[in-house]
Amino acid sequence: MDGIKRVLVTGAAGNIGYAIIPLIASGQLLGPDQPIILHLLEIPPCKERLEGVRMEIEDCCFPLLKGIVATTDSKEAFTDIDIAILVGSVPRTAGMERKELLSKNGTIFREQGTLLNQYSKKNVKVAVIGNPANTNALIAQAYAPNIPKENFTAMTRLDHNRACALLASKTGTSYSNVKNVIIWGNHSSTQYPDVRHAVVNGKNAIEAINDDTWLKNEFISCIQQRGATIIKARGMSSAFSAAVAAVNHVHDWILGTPEGKWTSMGVSSDGSYGIPVGVIYSYPVICKYGKYEIVQNLKIDEYSRALMDKTYEELLSEKTEAYSFLGLSA
Ligand code: NDP
């Protein structure tokens, strides 16, 4: 990559923001030769906390970091950016209905889509982390008609990494010997972590594990519930694992997936695997030269089909609720 790249992080003074900023500034996002300018956005009540974060980054003296724009002004934050990592969103609180969560975040991502459209580079690449990530990405995309649709993605990489880690620990091998897990669908408890095409130590994962009951039950529910389990243990939601996964997501998108491996990303559905156009759905993808391609022609059995459709149905119902609130037509 040449020239200086401007990277925006929203919700920069939050948990994930705090963990992701040093990873980006130290070169783990775009490689060790790519100078960057960090754009950090926060809401006005968090202005002082953001200022603390800005001072800490300065004190790290990262050689690749050529400037910091720490601001509560959205227009300033979105101007001329090359990459947007959208972390900031309203968290779901006890008793909050999904409808309310979708409408609050719908408003934020409508504004952010409009800002991307007006002020960012026309080839800006957008990774949405803030939940409900798939639907938030869809809304931002809907309000940014000047930016290619394929530039909007949602993170399911943490789920993907969690699935690889669990397969590695079950088989007593290293993470590097596990590849080609798939997360299908929504970054939510309906996601389908699929090991049918995964490889562990050069062997098909189903053969390597040799325990179908574990794979169909404990494995899936452990991945689906991992976020909640971490909150219970830590008293706070996962932060550095989410930050690392977001960095993995953007890094592989821009610089390519390793030879022979795919990853999982929420991208615009294009009819692949029978998922209708019109949602941001997590698929297996291979990335090269800054573009992703959905891996094609994988065999889908009846068991997988049912779970892939179920998570699609949830995405469709999130879209219907959010679009009706925003007055958008599907
Ligand atoms: P976190 O930094 O912990 O999380 C931010 C978002 O990432 C949440 O929506 C969270 O979802 C989501 N997320 C996605 N995947 C994961 C994962 N695997 N583990 C944990 N979280 C995940 O939240 P904080 O409240 O600490 O920080 C958010 C910041 O955003 C605040 O500082 C707030 O001021 C700011 N904000 C900025 C806005 C803006 O820039 N316009 C708008 C709204 C808020 P979940 O809630 O489901 O855990």
Residue boundaries of the structural domains of the chain: 5-154, 157-317
**Tens digits of residue pLDDT in 122-140:** 999 999 999 999 999 999 9
**pLDDT of the residue at 19:** 98
Residue with the smallest CA separation from ligand 1 atom 39 is 88
CATH topology of domain 157-317: L-2-Hydroxyisocaproate Dehydrogenase; Chain A, domain 2 (3.90.110)
| Centre of ligand 1 from the C-alpha of residue 133, in Å | 10
Q: Using the mean position of ligand 1's atoms as its centre, give its distance from the Cα of residue 106 in Å.
A: 14
Other C-beta atoms within 10 Å of 26: how many? 14
pTM above 0.85, yes or no: yes
Residue of the CA atom closest to atom 35 of ligand 1 = 11
Separation CA 321–CA 327 (nearest Å): 10
**Residues flanking ligand 1, CB < 6 Å:** 10-11, 13-17, 41-43, 46, 87-92, 108, 129-131, 133, 158, 227, 237-239, 242
Could you read off the pLDDT of 79-113 as tens digits, one per residue?
Answer: 999 999 999 999 888 778 878 889 999 999 999 99
SS3 110: helix
Closest-CA residue, ligand 1 atom 9, reads 130
Ranges of the chain with pLDDT below 50: none
Q: Is 85 left (phi over 0), alpha (psi -120 to 50) or beta?
A: beta
187 tagged catalytic: yes
Determine which one of 187, 197, 249, 251 is catalytic.
187
Rounded to the nearest whole angstrom, what is the distance from the C-alpha of residue 128 to the centroid of ligand 1? 11
Rounded to an integer, what is the distance from CA 281 to the centroid of its chain? Answer: 11
Name the residue with the closest Cα to ligand 1, atom 19: 238
Distance 87 CA to ligand 1 centre (A): 5
Q: Which atom of ligand 1 lies closest to the CA of 49?
A: 32
State residue 2's pLDDT score. 59
Q: Looking at the domain 5-154, which fold is it?
A: Rossmann fold (3.40.50)
Question: Rounded to 10 degrees, what is the CA torsion of 6, 11, 13, 14?
Answer: -140
What is the structure's pLDDT at 1? 53
- What is the distance between the alpha carbons of residues 232 and 298, in angstroms, rounded to a whole number? 36
Q: Are 16 and 242 in contact (CB under 8 A)?
A: yes
**Ligand 1 centre and the CA of 86: distance in Å?**
9
pLDDT at 298: 98
Closest CA to 172 of 199, 201, 194: 201
Calpha distance 47→6 (Å, rounded): 21
